[in-house]
Structure 1
Amino acid sequence: QGQVGYMPQEQEHRMSQPVRIQTQDVKLQQLHGLLDFALKQKAEEDVQTSRQLKAMNEVIVIKDEANKALRGNLAELEERLSECRMELEYYQEQWKSETAEKAILKKEAEDLRKRDDERRKEIEALKNQLAAANNKVNCARNDALDHLHANNELEAKFEELSLLYIALQNKYNYFLESLADYMGRTRTKNLKQNSLHEWQLFKERNDF
């Protein structure tokens, strides 16, 4: 009976062993996957670190070149500053030695300014005179135009009167001719006595 009770347990143990092996294999595969992921992530981090180191090295190189250029520029600026100081000292000496000459030049400049002011005043006076002269010329021109207009009117009136005079002269000549003809045709005494009345009628007919 004891053997009979043992054999089912051994059989059960033998049957559960493949399940445990399969479970352990699954766990091993999961661990292998996690290990691969960790190794891949580590490789990516190494690549990123390598890139960062490379970029840092490039920045260091650029910084070194910039510092080198800066030191060169600083040396050049110091040299130029030294030259500027020397030039400043030279011009200071020149200024000290030319003080009297500058005073003379200043006085001459002041004289020139005064003369320029006088010339400006003279020019302004000439401009005023020119404006007054132009005003007079404009007034004279306007007067001349008025006289010319009046003269043209007088000439037109004279021409009109001349034409009227010629017309009257022609009418007077016609009157004399008519009167001579009339007197030649009226020689009797009665007609001579009535000549005044005839003369009035004649003037009315001829619009004298």
Structure 2
Amino acid sequence: MTAATLTISSRNYSSWSLRGWLICRMAGIDFSTEVLSGEDTTSRAELLHLSPSFLVPRLRHGDVVVWDTLAIASYLNETFPEAGLLPKDRAERAHCHSISGEMHSGFVNLRSALPMNLKAFHPGFRLFNGAKADIERIVTIFDDCLDRYEGPFLFGKTPCLADAMYAPVCTRFRTYDVKLPPSAAAYRDTILHWPLMIEWAETAAQEPEEIEELDMEF
């Protein structure tokens, strides 16, 4: 079997590393995880969420090297089509691509104002208007998918690419005590209790503190 390595940065702070890891686990690929040091300047830039298209997560699978979360998902979907990273129905697959792409390229206000920090909890956190607009759009996406595909995941009974893309947002909703309507709150809880998310969070809890600047990135 071809060896695979996924390079990530912080488990506690890096939303893109989480997405890449979830996608690899859902695809069923046998891989090891390489964690970059927070002292590396390029790793620190990624941890501060300056770009969704950074060099981590990066998957090396034999002679293939692919980075960028959606590129990794596309490669793994082609390599392991039976894993169900994308819906089988063409219209549903297009919908999944669309909302995944929206997360990949959008919601900048939310990402900058509410950086991922699994160890933190900020009850009563004050949201500014730009982040509120992003949250309202995400709640609309959740409600539409859950109503259309009947949950508990965005496209039905099993998780897919879209759930991996929005999973870090669900952690932000918990960290910053974001009030959600019942349907969106139920989906948030589904994601937070997803065994893969529990596994990631337990490992993140053991991670040393390295990125002090994130405490000032609100």
TM-score (norm 2): 0.12
Larger Rg belongs to: 1
Which structure has greater strand proportion? 2
Which structure has greater helix proportion? 1
TM-score (norm 1): 0.13
Larger relative contact order (Cα-Cα within 8 Å, sequence gap ≥ 6): 2
